[in-house]
Amino acid sequence: MPFLQLANVRKLYPNAAAAAVENFSLDVEAGEFVSLLGPSGCGKTTTLRMIAGFETLTAGQIVMDGKAIEEMRPNQRNIGMVFQSYALFPNMTVADNIGFGLSVGGSAKAAIQQRVREMLALIKLEELGARYPYQLSGGQQQRVALARALAIRPKLLLLDEPLSALDAKIRVALRNDIRAIQRKLGITTLYVTHDQEEALSLSDRVVVMNHGLIEQVGNPFEIYNFPRTTYVAQFVGTLNLLDAVVVEPTAGSVQIQGQPAHTTSLAGCSQGEQIRLALRPELLALKSTGQADENRLAGVVETIAFLGAVVRIQVRVGEALLALDEFNNPQLAVPAVGSPVFVYFARSSCLKLL
Amino acid sequence: MRRINWFAWLWFTLGALYFVLPLWGTLIFSLQKRRGVLSLDAYSAALGDPRFVETFVFSNFMAICTILASLLLIVPTAYWVHLHLPRWRPVVEFVSLLPFVIPAIVLVFGFIKLYSKPIVLLGIPLFPSLTTSNLSTNLLLIAGYTVLSLPYMYRAVDNGLRAMDVGTLTEAAQSLGAGWWTILWRVILPNLRTALLSGALLTFAIVVGELTIATFLARPAFGPYLALLGNHRAYEPAALAIVSFLLTWVAMGLIDRVTRGTRDVVAGSH
Ligand SMILES: Nc1ncnc2c1ncn2[C@@H]1O[C@H](COP(=O)(O)OP(=O)(O)OP(=O)(O)O)[C@@H](O)[C@H]1O
Ligand SMILES: [Mg+2]
């Protein structure tokens, strides 16, 4: 039995035309780190708030640790929550913030102090217990908020875009710390973000959401390499989308912009069918010759952009524009804009999308 | 540049004179009880009057009760409106401004008319006449003062609530296991400290000088005493006016000190 189980959860806000969350079913195992990923307004926060108890469900069930929790009040669920805006109590010191939950729960003073010390050590801010929130940086405030949520030994940890108010460097450092702490404590965690890199780098599994619906659930490897829908493929990383016509389904042969090519994912297609193929830029290469079973498309270089570690080259193939990435190095022979080139890619790297 | 400065100074001086001259006149007048010399006779006479002490203490006590009553009424109400009924905020705000529109005399006559007889609803006596005993009349007085202080108190609390993220702080406290009273007492109230202090001091100023309600409820308050004194004496009311000015300034200084001390905390929390 999974630790947290959401079954057909639906949320329709009063006076809203469409449901914010629809038919949401998800099983989370104990100790798992699961991210909800999706664009603004897709219902990530709403889902999290229903689990925390701040929103009621229109339909469906939520079971945590074998108990239905959707009727429980938020202060009885024992779920830790970390907010985007930190939400530290401005009138309390760092130590009092961290100890608040225990003190509300009636723990003894000595036990609270002990736990606060443990938590401060966990977030590596031992020195700052006596400070007030306004005397801390954003990153430090969010660490304290994490410690405060964890101090009560919650059954579940919810984080709603905890890093989006921070600048890029701290974001990466803190997200690694969050993951390390989560692993150390083994706490089941749901993490909301609209940043695909964050979701892929942190999570055991990623839930990609779109307009309140789950598009795909999978581990980061599956989500990135085998997106099931155009939506997921486009949302997670850069992607080339190519229209193609099926020539011979059993042989896997297709036509892309009038040029022959092959793919390994034509199951269930019929001859002459219009399909859509996805290609990751990093799986394409500019070469003069390639292996016999590689696909080859002829095109013309349209733009070249240096992105640091990689060089992104856009090649026009008929009506389509293909982006491809080459790792940057001083010996790299970058073709001139306007020159004719061949783009090579493996048959298996070309995915058919739903 | 020079001319603009000059004009600014001219207006500033005119404005200052407008405020300072009457005050100065009152001060000088209050010092002239003894013919020909400046003395504090008027002050010692006014402050030494046992009726002064009695009414002043009474009004201060009423002011404290009023502040407590309006806090109990307004803080939970404003908090709830902020949290759950944000669309009703303009309505509540309008209600809180009604004391500016309805004169105190109307309020107090309404009180007397309604509460001087026992209130019986459908044959069940709800409560007895409230104007027959001093204690119950004091309760009416506090109720009236609470109404008068409503615009100031509500505004102060509302501003305080706006300055913090009430919704998220509440949810953070809830997720840590806190119930409503814990949240109000340990999270919301402490963060309203500054706002509450300024509201309380304004309420204090209003209550201590209030005339109409206290007069018609016939309670020994400071406002009616001042008015009475003004009818019979010349120098003493001037002396008391100066004293109350000083008290007001002290109060304003206190507000300033308190708000300055905590402004960093509030501003830094965002
Ligand atoms: N209290 C509310 N009342 C009515 N509609 C709401 C409410 N909260 C959210 N919505 C709507 O529900 C949908 C989902 O909102 P939600 O906040 O869950 O999105 P999100 O995925 O968290 O987006 P973001 O990344 O911008 O935070 C949106 O269309 C939003 O407008
Ligand atoms: Mg959100």
Nearest CB to B169: which of A74, A78, A87?
Answer: A87
DSSP assignments along B75-113, one per residue: HHHHHHHHHH-GGGHHHHHHHHHHHHHS-HHHHHHHHHH
From B50's Cα to the closest Cα of chain A, the distance in A is 44
Q: Which tokens go with A268?
A: 């269930």
- At A51-93, the pLDDT tens digits run 999 999 999 999 999 999 999 999 999 999 999 999 999 999 9
Contact with chain A for residue B265, Cβ under 8 A: yes
Residue with the nearest Cα to atom 16 of ligand 1? A43
pLDDT reported for residue B261: 55
Most B CBs within 10 A among A73, A81, A89, A144, hence the mutation to make, goes to A89
Chains A, B: CB contacts within 8 A come to 84
Instruction: Yes or no: say if A77 and A63 are a contact pair by the CB < 8 Å rule.
Output: no
pLDDT in tens, chain B (270 residues): 556 688 888 999 999 899 889 889 988 888 888 888 888 888 888 888 888 889 989 998 999 999 999 999 999 999 999 999 989 999 999 999 999 998 989 999 988 888 888 877 777 777 777 777 888 889 999 999 999 999 999 999 999 999 999 999 999 999 999 999 999 999 999 999 888 888 888 898 889 888 899 988 888 888 899 888 888 888 888 888 888 888 878 877 877 777 665 544 443 344
Distant-in-sequence contacts of A139-144, Cβ < 8 A, 24+ apart: A139/A166, A139/A170, A139/A173, A139/A174, A141/A86, A141/A88, A142/A82, A142/A86, A142/A166, A142/A174, A143/A174, A143/A177, A144/A86, A144/A88, A144/A94, A144/A97, A144/A98
pLDDT reported for residue B47: 84
Chain centre to alpha carbon of residue A270: 34
Contact with chain A for residue B165, Cβ under 8 A: yes
Chain B residues in contact with A73 by the CB 8 A cut-off are: 174
Contact with chain B for residue A15, Cβ under 8 A: no
pLDDT reported for residue B264: 45
Asked if the Cβ–Cβ distance from A133 to B268 is below 8 Å, we say yes
3-state secondary structure A193-235: ECCHHHHHHHCCEEEEEECCEEEEEECHHHHHHCCCCHHHHHH
Beta bridge partners of A299: A341
Q: How far is CA B159 from CA A212, B193, B265, B266, in A?
A: 36, 12, 15, 12
Contact with chain A for residue B231, Cβ under 8 A: no
pTM: 0.82
C-alpha A19 – ligand 1 centre gap (Å) = 10
Whether A16 is in the pocket of ligand 1, judged by its Cβ within 6 Å, is: yes
CB atoms within 10 A of CB A36: 26
C-alpha A40 – ligand 1 centre gap (Å) = 8
* Residues of chain A with confidence (pLDDT) below 50: none
Whether A141 is in the pocket of ligand 1, judged by its Cβ within 6 Å, is: no
Superfamily of domain B42-267: MetI-like (1.10.3720.10)
Distant-in-sequence contacts of A289-294, Cβ < 8 A, 24+ apart: A290/A342, A290/A344, A293/A262, A293/A346, A293/A347, A294/A344, A294/A345, A294/A346, A294/A347
From A144's Cα to the closest Cα of chain B, the distance in A is 13
Chain B residues in contact with A74 by the CB 8 A cut-off are: 171, 174-175
Whether A20 is in the pocket of ligand 1, judged by its Cβ within 6 Å, is: yes
- At A104-161, the pLDDT tens digits run 999 999 999 999 999 999 999 999 999 999 999 999 999 999 999 999 999 999 999 9
Contact with chain B for residue A78, Cβ under 8 A: yes
Whether A45 is in the pocket of ligand 1, judged by its Cβ within 6 Å, is: yes
**What ipTM was estimated for this complex?**
0.83
C-alpha A161 – ligand 2 centre gap (Å) = 7
